[in-house]
């Protein structure tokens, strides 16, 4: 998924970055949910493992207990 432009990390309003749970990704753009689902399916097929896909349009988020992205 990262090779298709998606990320496993999100950044909060205060600039702190955290990793999403394993298997979850975020992306920004003008694609439809169907388009994103097809991209995700294509990426997942390459792993040759079982998978499922759920796509949503996100306007707000809150989280707790996610691992921080190490400062670079």
Q: What is the pLDDT of residues 5-30, one digit of tens each?
A: 899 999 988 889 999 999 899 998 99
Whether residue 16 contacts residue 67, with contact meaning beta carbons closer than 8 Å, is answered with: no
Split at pLDDT 50, 70, 90, the class of 45 is very high
Per-residue pLDDT tens digits for 27-44:
989 999 999 999 999 999
> What single DSSP character describes residue 44?
H
CA dihedral of 24, 47, 51, 44, whole degrees rounded to 10: 60
Whole-angstrom distance, CA of residue 18 vs CA of residue 37: 23
The domains of the chain are located at 2-45
Reading the block at residue 5, the tokens are 């432009």
| pTM: predicted TM-score of the whole model, two decimal places | 0.80
Helices and strands: H and E segment counts in the chain: 1, 2
């Amino acid at each position: 998924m990262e090779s298709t432009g998606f990320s496993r990390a999100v950044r909060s309003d205060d600039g702190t970055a955290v990793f999403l749970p394993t298997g979850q990704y975020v992306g920004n753009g003008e694609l439809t949910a169907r388009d994103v689902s097809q991209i995700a399916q294509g990426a997942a097929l390459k792993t040759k493992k079982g998978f499922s896909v759920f796509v949503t349009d996100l306007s707000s988020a809150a989280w707790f207990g996610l691992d921080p992205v190490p400062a670079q």
